[in-house]
Amino acid sequence: MPSPAPVKTAAHADAVQASLVRIAAEVASVVDRLAAQPDDLDRVLDVLTGADRVFVLGAGRSGLALRMTAMRLMHLGLDVHVVGDTTTPAIRATDALLTASGSGTTTGIVRAAETATAVGAKIAAITTASDSPLGRAAEALVVVPAAAKLDRSGAASAQYAGSLFEQAVVLVGDAIFDALWQRSGLDADDLWPRHANLE
C-alpha cells in the first residue's frame, strides 16, 4: 500500500520562502561584485564579437547554463556551436571558446582550452578560480565570487555544492547576450525569426 502524500503546511511555504530570500541575497551579492568589474565582462564581449565562430563548453549544470547562452547568441546571428554535438566542427584560430568551470580544473574543459590555445583560438572563461589551468588559459576571464563545487564550508555560499556559481553562469550569460543585443541595434522582431521552429 502506497504511503500517503505528505500534508503541506504553512511551515513548508515558510521554508521555501526563506530559501528564496537567502538565494536571492546571495545572487544579488555576486551580481554587485561582478558589476564592480566591468572590464572583465567587456573583454568577454570583445572576444565573442571578434570571433568568426563561438564554441560553447561546460560540464554538468554549468554546461546546461552555457547552452542557454549559446541559444541566445544564435538569436543574435552569431555562428555558435555547442562542443560535443555531433555537428560541431573543428575550432580554428579565428574562433572563440566560451566556457565555464567553477574549479577551473574540469578535465574535459581544460583539455578543450588547451586544444583551442594550440590552434590560436581565444578563450573566454567563467570560473571561481583565476589561478586555475582554465583561468590562466583565458584571454577574457570572469571570476565569480562563489563557492567551488567541493567547498562545503558555507563561507562563500550557504547553498549546496556549486549552486551559486551555476546561477551566476546563467546571469552572466544573459548579461553578455543583453549587452551584445543592445550594441546591435536590433529589436526583438529581428531576432525572433532565428528561434527554433522544429519544436
Compute CA distances 164 → 22, 23, 55, 144, 187, whole Å.
11, 8, 24, 9, 31
Q: Which of 26, 114, 166, 199 is catalytic?
A: 166
Strands 96-100, 140-143: pairing is unpaired
Clarify whether 166 is annotated catalytic. yes
Q: Which residues contact 192 (CB under 8 A, 6 or more apart)?
A: 75
DSSP one-letter string for 58-115: E-HHHHHHHHHHHHHHHHTT--EEETTSTT-----TT-EEEEE-SSS--HHHHHHHHH
* Burial degree of 28 (CB within 10 A; 0-12, 13-18, 19+): exposed
Compute the distance between CA of residue 19 and CA of residue 180 in angstroms, rounded to an integer. Answer: 33
**Do 48 and 79 meet the contact criterion of CB atoms below 8 Å apart?**
no
Q: Residues with catalytic annotation?
A: 166
